[in-house]
Structure 1
C-alpha cells in the first residue's frame, strides 16, 4: 500500500507531501493519523527548523475529506462520525496551528474543504497560480468540520467568509491572497522554491523567538487584548534567561550576524 503521507528533510526544512494523488490527496483517517505522528516526530527533531506541506501530483493540494470513508461513518451514527471524523480532523488542524515550528503550505492545486482548512490552520501559505480554493461542504448538506467555520472568518472577516461558506463557490488564488488566506501567489514552477525561500527568511532567526511569536499569536488572537498582552509578556519572560536573547542583543550592539543555539 502506498504511504498516504511522505516526508523528506533537506537541510533543516522538512517537506510533508500528502500522497494520494489518485484521490486528489483526499484526507483519509490514515492520512490524518500519519500526519499527527509525523508532526510529533518533526517537532522533537532538533535538526528540523521549519516544515512545508504540499500535495502529490499536478492537480491537487487536497480536495478535502475522503467522502466515501466519511459517509460510512455517518451511516454508523453521529457518535462514530464525531469521534472518527470531526474530532480527528479538528485535532489535526489545531496541531498545525499550534505547532512550535513554522509551517508553510505550498498550495499546488485544488485546496477544497479540508485542504482549505489545512491552509487556514498553518502559519503561512504560498499558492501556485494554478491553485483553486473552495468551501464546498454546504453542497453536501453540512458545515465544514475541521475548523473552517472558525478560522476563515478570523482570517477574512465574517461577511466575506460567510459568502464562501454559504455558496460553496470556488475562488482563485488572487482572491485567497486578498482574503489573507495565503501570503503570496507565485508561478507554478517556482512554488516549492518560493516556500523554501520564505522558510529561509524565518529560520535565520532564533528558533526560541520564533516559537515565542507563534505561541503568542496562536494563543492571543482569540483573547481580549489585555489577556493577549499578558500572553505576549509571558512569552518574552521565557526568553530572558536564554542564550539566544543575549546573543541577539550582543550581535546587534556589535554589528555582527547572530549565531543562535536555540537555548
Structure 2
C-alpha cells in the first residue's frame, strides 16, 4: 500500500477500518489544493483496497471537521483568473467522493466542530454521520457569491426535506448539531469526547457484518436515486442475485443455525 499520510492528511488502516483525518487544525481543516490531491489518492485506496471494509473521515482538533475550501488558495481573486494552484486543485475534484467518485463501502463522518461549505458536501457524501454537540453546519457560499458545488445542490435536496435543504443553500446561515439531527443531516449527536469512539464503534459493527452485502445495499440505494422505481427494483434484484452466489451469503444462515457469530470474509 502506498504511503498516504501527508503534511495535511493522516491515513490509518487498522482492523479493516480506514481512518482519514484532515490535519490542518490551524486553518480549521480547510481544503487547499494539496489536501484535495492527497484525498483523491486516499479515496482511490479506500475504493480499491480489499483490506478496507469501512472508511471514517474526521478533522484534527476540536474546532472543525472541515471549514470548507481554503479560499485564499483555491478561488481566484480576479474575474477570469485561474490562480497559481487552480490547475492542481481542479483535476483532483474529479477523484473525490463528493465530486462523483463512487465508493460502495460504508463511509462514516465524525464531525468534531465546524462543518461548512466543502466540509458539508464531504459530509453529504458519507453514509453515516456522528456529530459533536458543539458542531455547526452551513453552506455560506451564497453569501460570498459562490455556487455550492461538489454535489451540494444535488445531494442535499435528495437527502433532506426540500425546505431544510434550500434553507441551507439559499440563506447561508449556520445550524447547530441539534437542528442538524432534527432535519436528518446527522444520525447522532454526542458529547465531543465521544465522537471518535462512537464512529469507531459503528465502524467495528459494520466490519463484523457482510461487506459485499453492505456494498450491494449502498449501490442499490445510490443508483436507485436516478432510476424509476421499477428499474430500481430490477437493479436491486440483480445485485441481490449476485450476493446469493457468494460464500458470505451461505455463512450468515449457517452461523444462525449453529448459534454462533458469522465469520464474513468478503467473498
Q: Structure 1 length normalisation: TM-score?
A: 0.91
Q: In 1, distance between residues paired with 2:128 and 2:102?
A: 12
Match of 2:193 among 168, 179, 189: 189
Which residues of 2 match residues 137-176 of structure 1 at below 5 A? 137-176=141-180
Match of 2:184 among 166, 174, 180: 180
SS at match of 2:109: strand
Runs of 4 or more consecutive aligned structure 1 residues displaced over 6 Å after TM superposition: 80-84
Which residues of 2 match residues 55-134 of structure 1 at below 5 A? 55-72=59-76, 75-77=79-81, 88-89=92-93, 91-94=95-98, 98-134=102-138
For 1:16, the equivalent position in structure 2 comes to: 20
Deviations 1:168-205 (A, max 9, x none): 01000111111211110000011100001111222211
Q: Structure 2 length normalisation: TM-score?
A: 0.90
**2:36–2:89: 8 Å Cα contact kept in structure 1?**
no
CA, structure 1 residues 143+95, in 2 after alignment: closer, same or farther (shift >3 Å)?
Answer: closer
Larger deviation, residues 69-78 vs 239-248: 69-78
SS at match of 2:72: helix
CA, structure 1 residues 83+213, in 2 after alignment: closer, same or farther (shift >3 Å)?
Answer: farther
SS at match of 1:36: helix
Which residues of 2 match residues 38-53 of structure 1 at below 5 A? 38-53=42-57
Deviations 1:226-263 (A, max 9, x none): 12112211110111211111111222233332211211
Query: Quick check: which one's helix share is greater?
Result: 1
1:259 has 2:260 as partner: no
**1:96–1:121: 8 Å Cα contact kept in structure 2?**
no
CA, structure 1 residues 155+60, in 2 after alignment: closer, same or farther (shift >3 Å)?
Answer: same
The number of residues matched between the two structures is 262
Identify unmatched segments of 5+ residues in structure 2.
1-5
1:227 has 2:249 as partner: no
1:94 offset after TM fit, Å? 4.1
